[in-house]
Amino acid sequence: MNLDFSAEDLAFRDTVKTFIAESYPPALRAKQEAGEELGKDDYLAWHKILAARGWAAPAWPKIYGGPGWTPVQRFIFAEELAFAGTVPLLPFGLNMVAPVIQAFGSPEQKARFLPPTLNGDIWWCQGYSEPGAGSDLAALTTKAVRDGDVYVVNGQKTWTTLAQHADWGFFLVRTDPTAKKQEGISFLLIDMTTPGVTVRPIITLDGAHEVNEVWLEDVRVPVENLVYEENKGWTCAKFLLAHERTGIAGVARSKRGIEKLKAIAAEETDHGRPLLDDPFFARKMAELEIDLLALEYTELRGLAREGEGKGPGPESSLLKIKGTEIQQRATELAVEAAGRYAAPHLTGADEHGNNALEIGPAYARGVADSYFNMRKTSIYGGSNEIQRNIIAKAVLGL
């Protein structure tokens, strides 16, 4: 594997860097720097700018509207987005359900769903996890009963990210309760405005409304919204999860996070010297950077496989494990570096008596929120314990 970028790749990097600098919305940048909560319109603003340029879906084949980039160009693009601190393109449509529709969907489903997903006209959510079926996803109990030309769906999903904004959702449902767990599941596309769909918020430790529970009560879903074959949804689910786990690794975003961490640790502490001067903290920083470099090379090997026409395999589990562990360690070190200023919800009263003024240096803003938010990364997309089992069986043959 050649790790040197070609002259064409370096020119491509310059093109991407220039485009981001000239096109990223200043108002969106201002909201990010102020630590304001971002809404649906904020995420879609950047999505639509990239879609107009033809860059919203780097991994899509050209036949479906992708840019036709090489794996290396996609890697460079992800790095530049991360270095520039842009809002992430939400993966549920572009990187999760779209590849499933491309691989298993009917021609009608491809024509109906892929163009608006690419353009940002459909916001997707994922209906996989249930209160009793998280890590053991095949234990799901949400059922769909065929009634003529519709399925009648009843059940509950949980931890459904940003479902409060979703137009459509892709759901795993049980269509044959008598079959073995994996063999009786189907993959359905559900309009979130359908009567019987109820979205209720779950407020996380950082005080954010990011995830939800979704109730489905006698929801009537047209049979034409079944992807692939009835009772073959587990095939779609495994295919989707491999793509999701590869994306969770977040190498480029972690590199930017470490740069921010270094900036925090370079600030003078209350004792008058930067934390980076502490050999114990510097050692932890060095270990983190070495692990991230090793993960980056692992991701590049995966990209080389894709360049040979091979999709993500069991190695996506390795990327998921190490990527999420690195993300968590980085946020832990950021809290350590920020010290007492990392205390969550540290506020002071304004002139009206409202507790709205943040105390402490700007670099500490959001450190605690990021720490809390990153606790979930080792769980979603299949917990890291499950990923170790996959590696043991599929890679090591144990």
Query: For residue 173, what is the domain's CATH number?
Result: 2.40.110.10
If asked whether residues 324 and 351 sit together in one domain, one would say yes
Instruction: State residue 356's pLDDT score.
Output: 42
pTM for the predicted model, two decimal places: 0.86
If asked whether residues 136 and 225 sit together in one domain, one would say yes
Per-10-residue mean pLDDT for the chain, 398 residues long? Answer: 79 98 96 87 96 96 95 90 93 95 98 98 96 85 98 97 97 96 95 98 86 98 98 93 71 87 80 83 94 88 69 75 92 88 58 48 77 86 82 79
Instruction: State residue 341's pLDDT score.
Output: 79
If asked whether residues 311 and 348 sit together in one domain, one would say yes
If asked whether residues 38 and 169 sit together in one domain, one would say no
Residue 103 lies in a domain: no
The parent domain of residue 158 ranges over 124-233
Instruction: State residue 347's pLDDT score.
Output: 46
If asked whether residues 253 and 390 sit together in one domain, one would say yes
3-state SS record for the chain: CCCCCCHHHHHHHHHHHHHHHHHCCHHHHHHHHCCCCCCHHHHHHHHHHHHHHCCCCCCCCHHHCCCCCCHHHHHHHHHHHHHHCCCCCCHHHHHHHHHHHHHHCCHHHHHHHHHHHHHCCCCEEEECCECCECCCHHHCCCEEEEECCEEEEEEEECCCCCHHHCCEEEEEEECCCCCCHHHHEEEEEEECCCCCEEEEEEECCCCCEEEEEEEEEEEEEEHHHEECCCCCHHHHHHHHHHHHHHHHCCHHHHHHHHHHHHHHHCCECCCCCEHHHCHHHHHHHHHHHHHHHHHHHHHHHHHHHHHCCCCCCCHHHHHHHHHHHHHHHHHHHHHHHHHHHHCCCCEEECCCCCEEEECCCHHHCCHHHHHHHHHHCCCCCCCHHHHHHHHHHHHCCC
Instruction: State residue 354's pLDDT score.
Output: 45
Residue 242 lies in a domain: no
If asked whether residues 200 and 75 sit together in one domain, one would say no
* Final residue in a domain of this structure, among 188, 206, 233: 233
List active site positions.
244
Residue 342 lies in a domain: yes
Instruction: State residue 345's pLDDT score.
Output: 56
If asked whether residues 382 and 291 sit together in one domain, one would say yes
Residue 154 lies in a domain: yes
If asked whether residues 266 and 330 sit together in one domain, one would say yes
- Number of domains comprising the chain: 3
If asked whether residues 216 and 278 sit together in one domain, one would say no
Instruction: State residue 313's pLDDT score.
Output: 67
If asked whether residues 131 and 207 sit together in one domain, one would say yes
Residue 147 lies in a domain: yes
If asked whether residues 253 and 228 sit together in one domain, one would say no
If asked whether residues 128 and 222 sit together in one domain, one would say yes
Residue 189 lies in a domain: yes
